[in-house]
């Protein structure tokens, strides 16, 4: 029977042939590597095995939904190529992601984390807080992506955006890296999961790399009131997604109330 190693190798080839981005491929590998740790053989997995994996305690709805997508894609491919007679992911429950509210990391929390971090941690914090990068994007910062004072970022689904790098230390570090800013053993750079964990360790409980993105979006909107520009900086395809990253400034809410009362 085909092992996880062989199955994933062929699956990655199929994703590349389909034009999927390197970021998407890494994300799928991340979740499928997790599946391989608890399910002995990819083609012996049952629906119950996958549901148990999806029910991982402590996962946010977004993480659960992302994992579901990776499992569904993998087993759809396995079924389509005749590797498994029926698709165990076909009956996975849909994952509802609440609209939620923006939760930007407070400035005091961010500054305290910066003060207590080593150089590598400080650079990671700044990329999330001052450039709005996701963990995947932080992990894959490379010197060649720096063009004068902007960074070319490849995000979810291969979507490319350009983000200004205005912090002097951050700009110098990327320029001097001569390759990956955070070298590692996975494709030459640190894995997104490892970056996410490091950011979580640098910040107090309840604050994450994702809430640093909320900070970036909130502050960018407060300074411009331009939802489309903020969405472009964050790499969002839809304005409604960007809206969830922005805590409206108090003066905007007050101005709206005053206008309604006039």
The alpha-carbon radius of gyration of the chain (Å, integer) is 20
pLDDT along the chain (262 residues), means of 10: 95 95 86 94 96 88 90 97 96 85 94 97 98 95 96 88 97 96 90 92 94 96 94 92 87 80 80
Please give the Cα distance from 184 to 142 (Å, whole number). Answer: 12
- pLDDT for the residue 142: 97
Collect all residues with Cβ–Cβ distance below 8 Å to 53 and sequence separation of at least 6: 34, 35, 38, 39, 67, 71
How far is the first Cα of the chain from the last one, in angstroms, to the nearest whole number?
Answer: 73
- pLDDT for the residue 67: 94
CB atoms within 10 A of CB 225: 11
- pLDDT for the residue 150: 97
- pLDDT for the residue 56: 86
- pLDDT for the residue 5: 96
* Token reading at 183: 């070298």
- pLDDT for the residue 32: 96
Collect all residues with Cβ–Cβ distance below 8 Å to 131 and sequence separation of at least 6: 151, 153, 163, 164, 165, 170, 216
Is the domain defined by 4-80 classed in CATH 1.20.58.410? no
Please give the Cα distance from 39 to 179 (Å, whole number). Answer: 36
Q: Mind listing the pLDDT tens digit for each residue in 104-140? A: 999 999 999 999 999 999 999 999 999 999 999 999 9
Q: 48: burial class by Cβ within 10 Å (0-12, 13-18, 19+)?
A: exposed
- State in words which class domain 107-249 has: mainly alpha
- pLDDT for the residue 63: 86
Query: What are the residue boundaries of the structural domains of the chain, listed by start?
Result: 4-80, 107-249
Please give the Cα distance from 245 to 234 (Å, whole number). Answer: 9
* Three-class DSSP category at 154: strand
Please give the Cα distance from 234 to 249 (Å, whole number). Answer: 18
State which H helix or E strand residue 185 sits in.
strand 183-186
């Amino acid at each position: 029977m085909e092992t996880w190693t062989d199955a994933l190798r062929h699956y990655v080839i199929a994703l590349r042939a389909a034009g999927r981005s390197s970021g998407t491929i890494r994300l799928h590998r991340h979740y499928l590597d997790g599946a391989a740790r608890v399910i002995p053989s990819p083609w012996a997995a049952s629906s119950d095995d996958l549901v148990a994996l999806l029910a991982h305690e402590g996962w946010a709805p977004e993480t659960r939904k992302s994992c579901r997508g990776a499992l569904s894609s993998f087993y759809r491919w396995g079924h389509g190529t005749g590797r498994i007679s029926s698709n165990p992911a076909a009956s996975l429950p849909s994952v509802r992601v609440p609209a939620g509210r923006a939760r930007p990391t407070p400035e005091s929390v961010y500054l305290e984390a910066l003060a207590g971090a080593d150089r590598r941690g400080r650079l990671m914090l700044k990329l999330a807080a001052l450039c709005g990068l996701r963990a995947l994007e932080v992990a894959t910062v490379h010197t060649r992506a720096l063009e004068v004072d902007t960074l070319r970022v490849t995000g979810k689904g291969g979507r490319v955006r350009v983000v200004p790098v205005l912090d002097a230390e951050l700009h110098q570090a990327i320029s001097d890296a001569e390759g990956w800013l955070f070298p590692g053993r996975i494709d030459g750079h640190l894995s997104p999961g490892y970056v996410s964990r490091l950011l979580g360790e640098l910040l107090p409980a309840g604050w994450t790399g994702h809430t640093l993105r909320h900070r970036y979006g909130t502050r960018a909107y407060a300074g411009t009131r331009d939802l489309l520009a903020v969405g472009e900086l964050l790499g969002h395809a839809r304005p409604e997604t960007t809206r969830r990253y922005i805590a409206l400034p108090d003066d905007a809410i007050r101005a709206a109330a005053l206008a309604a009362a006039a």
